[in-house]
Structure 1
Amino acid sequence: MNTEVLSPRYDVVIVGGSYAGMAAALQLVRARRKVLIVDAGQRRNRFAATSHGVLAQDGRAPEAIAAEAKTQLLAYPTLQWLNATATGGKKQGDEFLITLDNGETVQTGRIVLATGVRDNLPAIPGLAERWGKHVFHCPYCHGYELNQGNIGVIAGGEFSFHHAMLLPDWGRVTLFTNDLFIPDEAQTNAMLARGVSVETTPVAAIEKHANVRLQDGRELAMDGLFCLSRTEIIGSLVQDLQCELVESPIGVFIQTDEFKQTSVPGVFACGDVARMAGNVSMAIGDGAFTGASVHRTLIFN
C-alpha cells in the first residue's frame, strides 16, 4: 500500500525560483495552470551588487529584480510558492512524485528543473571573496563598468581563450595562464592581434581591489578580473529522474531538445542548469520559452 502523503496535485512543479524558474511560471499561470515553485533561495548572482544588460532593469540590484518578479507572480491565484528544497523525485505511472525537505511529497504531471548551478572557483587566495564584486564570469554583465581599464583573465582551462578574445572590447587585457592553459601558436597570434598580453607566471593571490600577485613577487593592478568557474548542478533531482547530461568545457549541464524537454518525457530544464551561457537576460528568455513549451505538452500530449 502507498503510504506517502500527497499534497494536492499540480499541473507543473518548478524546482528553482530564480529568473528562469519564475519566467517559466509566468507563462503557465497566465494560462491558468496550477503551478508550484519550490525554491531554496540561493540565486547564483546573489554575490553581485548590481545586474546589468537586463532590458528595463539595467543597474538594479539582483535581489530587487527577483523580489519584484516574485511579488507579481504571487498575484496569480494558481501559483503556490514553497520555501523548500527538493530532495528526491521519481516517476510513478504518468505522474511524478517530488519529495521535499519539509517531509511533504508533491504530485505533478510536469517538472521544470531550474535549480541553477554552483560555481567552483580556482583555489587562489582572495579570489572567492571578490566573486561577483571584482571578479566576474560574464563580460556582457560587468565589462562596461570597468571603463576600459586593466582587465585580467584568470585561466581555468582551454575555454579561457574565448574570454581573452572577447574582453579587449572592454579594456586592456592580460591573460594569466596560471599553468592551466597553454595557448598554441594560432591562439597566441589571435590574442596578439587583439592586443592581449599573456602572463605565464602562476598566480599566488588576489589582493586589494583586484590586484594579481604572482609567484615571483610581482603585483599587477587590475580594475577587474574575469574567471570561468567549473559549474556543478545543484541537488540530486536530475540523477533521481535519470535525465541525460552533457559535458561542456566549463561543467556538466542537463541535455534538452529544441523545446527544452530533457531525455525524460515530461521533465524540462531551463536557465543555467541547461545551457553553457548564463546571465539574467538569457535565463529569463530560456524560462519563458520553456514555460510555453510545457503548456503545449499539457494540451497536445
Structure 2
Amino acid sequence: MDTAIKHDVIIVGGSYAGLAAGLALGRALRKVLVIDSGESSNRQTPHSHNFLTQDGTAPAAIASIARQQVSAYTTVSFLNDRVVSAKKLDSSFEVSMPFGESFTAKKLVFATGIVDLMPDIPGFAECWGKSVLHCPYCHGYEVRGQKTGILANGDSGYEFCMLIANWTSDLTLFTNGNSTLTHEQTARLHNHKINIVEDQILKLDQTNGYLSSIQFKTGRAELVTALYARLPFQQHCDIPQQLGCELGEEGYIKVDAAQKTSVSGVYACGDNVTRMRTVANAVSMGTTTGLMVNKELVEEEF
C-alpha cells in the first residue's frame, strides 16, 4: 500500500518550465510541491530575449517574478533541495532528498533541463551564454554585424553558417582541426565570403566572459567578438531514466503532445525534451504540462 499521499503533483525543477507548470496547477487548485536546487543552465546569461513583455530582462529576474506569482497560490509550496531518487508506488510516486526526507505525489513532472558539456578550451566556459552563444534567435540581434565566429565542422558547420549569415556578413567558420566540409560546401561558403579556419584553438581571450580574440596553437590570433557553438549535452537529472522514461536518439526525454513520458504518470517539459531552447518555449511547454496533468487527475478522480 502507498503511504499517505501529501501532494497531487511534485515538480522537479523550478525554473521557467517548472514554474509555468506550477502556476497552471495552482490555478487548478492542485496541491503542488516544486523542488529546485537553483542550478539553471542559463544562470550566467545576462539577458533573455524573444519572450514577449520580458525582452532584454535578466533570466534570474524573470524567474524571481515567476516564483513570486506562483507563490501567491496557497496550494503550491517550494523546497530548495535536490531530488536524489524516485520510485513508483502502487498509485503514486515517492521522491527522496539527500538526507533521507521523502515526499509522495500522484504525478511527477520533470523540468530538470540539461547540462552543456564544455570543450577543453580555456576561456570557453567563462564566455558561455555571454559572448559564446548557442542561439541566434536568443542573442543574434545583440551581436548583429559584428565580427563573428562559428565553432563547428562538417554538415553542422555548414548549416550553422547559413543560419548565422542572416545576422552578419563578417563571418568565419572555425573547424578546430581539419575541415570535414564537402568540396561543394566549402565552395559555397567561400562564394558567400565566409572564411574557413582549420587551425586548432589554444584558448579564448576574454574579459569577464566577453570574447576579444581566439588564440591558435600555431601562435597566431584572430579578433572575434561573438562565437556560436552547439555543444553536446547530458540530462541534468537521470532520475527519469531510472524510472524507465525513454530517451530519443539525441538524448532528450521522449514526450507526446501532452508532455507525457513513456512512464504513466510522469511528465517532462523544458530543455530536457527539446532542442528549441528558449525561455518562451519552456514557459509554453510548462503551461501545457500543468493543464494536461490536471486533466489526467480530473479524469481519474471524477
TM-score by length of 2: 0.92
Relative distance call for 1:294 and 1:181 in structure 2 (3 A) is farther
Question: Where does residue 92 of structure 2 map in the other structure?
Answer: 95
Structure 2 residue 145 is matched with structure 1 residue 143: no
CA distance in 2, matches of 1:180, 1:223: 23
SS of equivalent residue, structure 1 residue 254:
coil
**Paired amino acid for 1:213:** Q
Question: Where does residue 274 of structure 1 map in the other structure?
Answer: 273
Question: Where does residue 59 of structure 2 map in the other structure?
Answer: 62
Relative distance call for 1:278 and 1:253 in structure 2 (3 A) is same
**Paired amino acid for 1:10:** H
By how many angstroms is 1:8 displaced?
Answer: 5.4
CA distance in 1, matches of 2:74, 2:242: 31
Relative distance call for 1:134 and 1:12 in structure 2 (3 A) is same
**Paired amino acid for 1:268:** Y
CA contact (8 A) 1:205 1:213 kept: yes
Q: In the TM superposition, what whole-angstrom CA distance separates every residue of 1:81-119 from its partner, at most 9, and x where no partner exists?
A: 000101000111121111112422111111111011111
CA distance in 2, matches of 1:194, 1:175: 12
By how many angstroms is 1:157 displaced?
Answer: 6.9
Residue among 179, 182, 185 paired with 2:183: 185
Task: Specify every segment of 5 or more residues in structure 2 that has no aligned partner in the other structure, as ranges.
Answer: none
Question: Where does residue 215 of structure 2 map in the other structure?
Answer: 213
CA distance in 1, matches of 2:81, 2:178: 38
Percent identity reads 38
CA contact (8 A) 1:44 1:118 kept: yes
Aligned ranges 1:98-247 → 2 under 5 Å: 98-155=95-152, 158-171=155-168, 172-179=170-177, 182-192=180-190, 194-208=192-206, 209-247=211-249
CA distance in 2, matches of 1:283, 1:180: 37
**Paired amino acid for 1:294:** V
SS of equivalent residue, structure 1 residue 57:
coil
Structure 2 residue 62 is matched with structure 1 residue 50: no
CA contact (8 A) 1:7 1:105 kept: no
CA contact (8 A) 1:23 1:291 kept: yes
Q: In the TM superposition, what whole-angstrom CA distance separates every residue of 1:227-275 from its partner, at most 9, and x where no partner exists?
A: 1121111133113211111122xxx111111211111011011100111
Relative distance call for 1:8 and 1:264 in structure 2 (3 A) is closer
Task: Specify every segment of 5 or more residues in structure 1 that has no aligned partner in the other structure, as ranges.
Answer: none
**Paired amino acid for 1:232:** Q
**Paired amino acid for 1:288:** T
CA distance in 2, matches of 1:220, 1:29: 52
Deviates more, 1:208-217 or 1:151-160: 151-160
Relative distance call for 1:167 and 1:7 in structure 2 (3 A) is farther
CA distance in 2, matches of 1:186, 1:90: 52
CA distance in 2, matches of 1:181, 1:282: 34
Q: CA-atom RMSD, angstroms? A: 1.9
By how many angstroms is 1:144 displaced?
Answer: 0.8
CA distance in 1, matches of 2:263, 2:166: 41
CA contact (8 A) 2:202 2:217 kept: yes
SS of equivalent residue, structure 2 residue 158:
helix
| Count of residue correspondences | 295
By how many angstroms is 1:194 displaced?
Answer: 4.6
CA contact (8 A) 1:155 1:181 kept: no
CA distance in 1, matches of 2:178, 2:285: 32
Relative distance call for 1:129 and 1:179 in structure 2 (3 A) is same
CA distance in 2, matches of 1:159, 1:62: 28
SS of equivalent residue, structure 1 residue 220:
strand
